[in-house]
Structure 1
Amino acid sequence: MGTLGRVAVLGGGIGGLAAAHYLRKRAPGAKVLLLEGSERLGGWLWSNRRPDGAVFELGPRGVRPVGAVGRNTLNLVSELGLEAEVIPVTYSHVASQNRFLFVRGQLWKMPAGLSGLLKTTPPFSRPLLPLLLREMFVSKNQRDDESLHAFVSRRFSSELADIAVDSLCRGVFAGDCRRLTERQRGSVVLGMILGPRADVAPGPLAQRAQRERWAQWSLRRGVQSLPEALGQSLENSGSVELLTRATVTGLEQTGSGWTVREHGFVLSPALGAVLSSSCAPLVELLQEVSSVSVAVVSLEYEGSVLPVQGFGHLLPSSEDPGVLGVVYDSEFFPQHNSPERESTRLTVRTPTRESGVGLDELVSRAVSAVARHLGVGQSPGGAAWKCIGLYSFSLSSELMRGFIKSRLLPLSLVGSSYDGVSVNDVIFSGRTAVEKLFGAEQ
């Protein structure tokens, strides 16, 4: 372990910050240089804090505590001394129990619990439980290019694919389930039951989350507080240098490292633009990584204006191709409302594929969607917006890592492009990369 001298972390999002954090823990004597091209750290964890105390999330607004990756993040929150800042939402909360679909011009509550799966619940025409049970016995398709829509249609039903899966892919990935390829091995249901193989011992905060049955959590000043605390902790360590507005223009391999660096943690498809010609196969794979941009429009209305209570609603592409979904922020985190007045905060996410679409058009589209979907006629009193790269995904992460391993390249791939889209996944990706690095040295 003493051989690890200098380490470069390229990218100061939550994945890069997590990688630097776990590196510092495993190798306190190593010198870590974190380079971020933008002017701020934190990536898509971005909280717009207004002077009146309201918080609008421009990226993820809550974190789930479940599973090994969820426990890992809560343990990190404890390490950073943020326990008192945590705002939990339990499974008994109305926002956890009620999620909606906007189909055929109206809102429908999604089936929940065993009773909801046993009976026919509109907009579905038959119970869902028999479909879930049947799926465990459907044989795997031998084709490796089957779309997610075709996969769900074959293993469950075309109705489930057209409504639920279409809505979910649009709401989470801003993607088209008819173009996304499924490479699942075996049963989806069994995979959900068995869960991931990784395990993390729960600390006191994670134990509290299990005991109180948290469904999700945030922080009092928004989720941006997490990367802010990570950055401050790294700066205080004295062994990590954080540089923003630092653009990497090239990486040339020299011996066991890259120029003067011995190991590089890479978090972005932009890596392909700076790698040397000797890594041409890896560059080709990186160029296949897809990404999408989404406009996040946060709206605030006076008083309580929602006709339903819940987390929010999604909608299939057949309903409104210009809107991905609406989140009812005030329902699950009212602590982020301004303490000066009663209000309703909503977030509308819209795709930004069209060129030349400006701020006024995006806000108008969001306001119009709220009026149509929720019957809210009044104009919002305030709006905040941001265009973000919602998710980058790769179907070739194993091939990339295989190439890196075969060439003994001092590189690790970290982030949502390779190991999962959630905040928990990205943080755990940084931890796993560090553990593999030290495992390779032993």
Structure 2
Amino acid sequence: MTRRIAVLGGGISGLTAAWNLASRGSAGALEVVLYEASSRVGGWMKTHTTSQGAVFECGPRSLRVTGHSAKTTMKLVSAIGLENEVLPVRSSSKAAQKRLIYTNRTGPVQLPSGPSWLFRTKPPFSKPLLGVVLRELMAKAGTGDESVFDFFSRRVGDEVTQYLVDPLCRGVYASSAKTLSVRSCFPQLVELESKYGSLVKGMLLDRLNKDATEVSALSQRAKDERWSVYTFRSGLQTLPDTLLTKIKERGVTVKMDQPCTELTFKDGKAMVKSGAEMEVFDNVVSTVSAKVLSQLLCGEQSQLSDDLSSIPCVTVGVVGLEYRAGDILPQDYREAFGYLVPSSESSRILGVVFDSASFPSQDRKDGPSTRLTVMMGGEWFDGLFGDPGSVREDTLSQIALEELNRQIGISAPPSFISTAILRDSIAQYAVGHSAKLDSISQRVSGLPLSLCGASYRGVSVNDCVHYAVEATNKIL
């Protein structure tokens, strides 16, 4: 008897789930149907290529190579035949080593990158960092969930938390370290504290333990060549586009422009309504956001719906800029990855990525140019710019240009501008998020429903891929 499984959402989680089901399930014993609300796949992963060949990412722009989830993604990349399309940045490159933060007092300054920071005072810090390391080794462990800011402030002090940890949170989650849960955003660090009593000690001792995760040829290559991050020659959109082709070849039915509009359960089965059509499935894998899923449930699942709707998302503005000059950046910044702005600083942007420094081969092909990406909004979007549904794209691009001029002195007009407003694009793991997940897990238990995607256990592409594989392995 054929088992029917529905996958809700054609982002990277949904495509990975469909691929894993179709490639591992027994031929003829499994029917997979994927529902996607829009006319394209990839979700927030979207690449725009200009007629001159310049590549701009409207969402995620690179993939990391360390950690279990990164290895899962590399296995997927190999399985669908994309090894030869990979475009890496090596750890030895200037872009990988030179990352900046911006303060109104100092302008962009380099993040700690070598042992000299332990013994010399360098801006924006008021003391050498050796004292921070010694403090961390002696800090007491915390109890319960706490904010990222409180966790790191307790272990390394306010200054390092303000200038190192908080900008990282803005770059990944578009949110303040004071809002986010350390247990949900950095679970590995909480585990190190619990196991070793110190992050520094734990990181050193963990290096001595070999990772038992199965290593693919691609991840071994990344290790041997010391990659920092990677993308694909034509941009990250290559990954979802290739997955779409592969799942169709495996017999997955893909319903574009056909969102699920209602999800109900009866007698151990799931009923998926899309438009006027209602189909019955043995299992449903939901990869849409928790907020969207909450709106599909009704009746007996009202409490689950309430739990899901309590996981918030923020809106991010992304402004891609191209300059026909190859040296538009000030000399000190030309080889840097980019810079982030701490929450404590007065700024209308979260940070800037210097795309040409990391991936110069993705610049336009007809002469020298420089590509930048300005990130805006997040937790602060409504307060800075107003209702995301009413803000004009050209308003954001103008603000981005003004901040670039104010912060690093770029006044020349760009030759190309690409602006995207990504509404409700990044889930927020606030303090107490893990308790919400426990409640959701209890309510889902017994239902033919699996949850994965960025709303739950990780917002990165690697996390989305990893947990989609994990969820579908359990079904299989």
- Whether the 8 Å CA contact 1:72–1:200 is kept in 2: the answer is no
Q: Map 1:163-312 onto structure 2 (within 5 A).
A: 163-183=163-183, 185=190, 187=193, 188-189=199-200, 194=206, 199-238=212-251, 240-259=252-271, 260-267=280-287, 268-269=289-290, 270-303=292-325, 304-307=327-330, 308=333, 309-312=335-338
Q: Does 1:323 align with 2:323?
A: no
The answer to whether 1:55 aligns with 2:55 is yes
Question: For residues 276-322 of structure 1, what are the alpha-carbon distances to aligned partners after superposition, in whole Å with 9 as ceiling and x for unaligned?
Answer: 32222321210111100111000111222112121000011232341
Q: Could you say which residue in structure 2 is the equivalent of 1:13?
A: 11
Separation (CA, whole Å) in 2 of partners of 1:319 and 1:301: 27
Cα deviation digits, residues 242-271 of structure 1 (max 9, x gap): 111112121111212213111111122111
Alignment deviations for residues 62-96 of structure 1 (CA, whole Å, 9 cap, x no partner): 11111222122112111111111111110001100
Structure 1 position 198, deviation (Å):
8.3
Residue in structure 2 matched with residue 430 of structure 1 by the alignment:
468
* Greater displacement, 324-333 / 184-193: 184-193
Structure 1, residues 362-386: CA drift from partner, whole Å, max 9, x if none?
A: 1111111211222222111110011
* Partner Cα distance (1:152, 1:296) in 2: 29
What is the aligned partner in structure 2 of residue 116 from structure 1? Answer: 117
Q: Does residue 411 of structure 2 align to residue 391 of structure 1?
A: no
RMSD: 2.1
Partner secondary structure for residue 75 of structure 2: helix
> 2-side partners of 1:191 and 1:4: how far apart?
48
TM-score, L = length of structure 2: 0.86
Q: Which amino acid aligns with 2:371?
A: R
2:235 is matched by which residue type in structure 1? G
- What residue number does 2:451 align with? 413
In the aligned structure 1, how far is the partner of 2:67 from the partner of 2:147?
Answer: 27
CA contact (8 A) 1:7 1:263 kept: yes
- State the Cα distance separating 1:53 from its structure 2 match: 0.8
- Partner in structure 1 of residue 275 of structure 2: none
Query: Structure 1: which amino acid aligns with 2:328?
Result: V
Between stretches 146-155 and 362-371, larger displacement belongs to 146-155
- 5+ residue gaps, structure 1, are none
Name stretches of at least 5 consecutive residues in structure 2 with no aligned partner. Answer: 194-198, 272-279
For residues 51 and 28 of structure 1, the distance between their equivalents in structure 2, rounded to whole angstroms, comes to 44
Give me the identity figure in percent. 37
> Counterparts of 1:101-140 in structure 2 under 5 Å?
101-103=101-103, 104-140=105-141
Mapped to 1, the partners of 2:419 and 2:107 lie a distance apart of 26
Aligned pairs (5 A) from 1:92-107: 92-103=92-103, 104-107=105-108
Aligned length: 432
- Cα gap change, 1:340/1:156 in structure 2, threshold over 3 Å: closer, same or farther? same
Secondary structure of the residue that 2:281 maps to in structure 1? coil
Letter in 2 for 1:271: L
TM-score, L = length of structure 1: 0.92
Q: SS of the residue aligned with 1:417? A: coil
Residue equivalent to 2:196 = none
- CA gap of 1:142–1:68, structure 2 versus 1, over 3 A, is closer
* CA shift digits 1:331-363 (9 cap, x unpaired): 000111011010010000111321243122111
Change (3 A) 1:15 1:158: same
